[in-house]
Amino acid sequence: MTPVDLVLPSSQTYRALLILVAALAVLAAVWILQALGYAPCELCLTERYAFYAGAPIAALAAGLASRSAHGFARALFILLALVFLANAGLAFYHVGVEQHWWPGPSACTGSLGGPVDVNDLMKAMNSAHVVNCDEVQLRILGLSLAGWDVVASAALAFYAALAARLAK
């Protein structure tokens, strides 16, 4: 078996299982980092939705492909490609927020604007700490976690699109 056969197996079932494993690996990595104390921001949590959706879609595609429902499996590969492509766009937006190329959501960036009521300030102090979306908490090989999400999501989108085009 060649390395190409490992990365791009001839079976739709195995290609779907590779996407499933990749999605679960990303989720495991972010959960481990969260357990180590790296709290996710609002955008980080939103970016996880693609992986939460992608894992069961990939599992369903694998199940359908193993039952020779290759047309349905191809449709699910296309859906996976779209889900991960949209997430790559969201992650790129997050990178731009981190780099201060553009403003991020007001819920997790910036500072107070305008006059502040003391009662509102006290309520805010007693509420949960909000992690700023425009502050990088961790860089790995020079990329923030949002940057790595761009890479992972784009790669999964490309792989799913390629898998949809290949014969069973």
Over pLDDT 70: what percentage of the chain?
A: 80
Pair of tokens at residue 32: 């481990």
pLDDT at 97: 95
Residues 6+ apart with CB under 8 A from 25: none
pLDDT bucket at 73, cuts 50 / 70 / 90:
very high
Q: Which of 93, 74, 47, 86 is nearest to 163 (CA)?
A: 74
φ, ψ at 26 (rounded to 5°): -65, -45
Kindly tell me the sign of the dihedral angle through the C-alpha atoms of 10, 7, 32, 89: negative
**Amino acid letter for position 63:** G
Residues 108 and 133 sit within 8 Å (Cβ to Cβ) = yes
Question: What domains can you pick out in the chain, each with its CATH number?
Answer: 3-108+119-165 (1.20.1550)
pLDDT given for residue 111 in this prediction: 54
Amino acid, single-letter form, for residue 37: G
Token readout for 104 is: 């991020």
CA 58 – CA 27 distance, rounded (Å): 14
The 8-class DSSP code of residue 144 comes to: E
Question: Does the pLDDT of residue 127 top 70, yes or no?
Answer: no
Q: Is the dihedral of CA 153, 165, 80, 3 positive or negative?
A: negative
pTM: 0.83
Could you tell me if 65 and 102 are in contact, meaning their C-beta atoms sit under 8 angstroms apart? no
pLDDT tens sequence across 19-67: 999 999 999 999 999 999 999 999 999 999 999 999 999 999 999 988 8
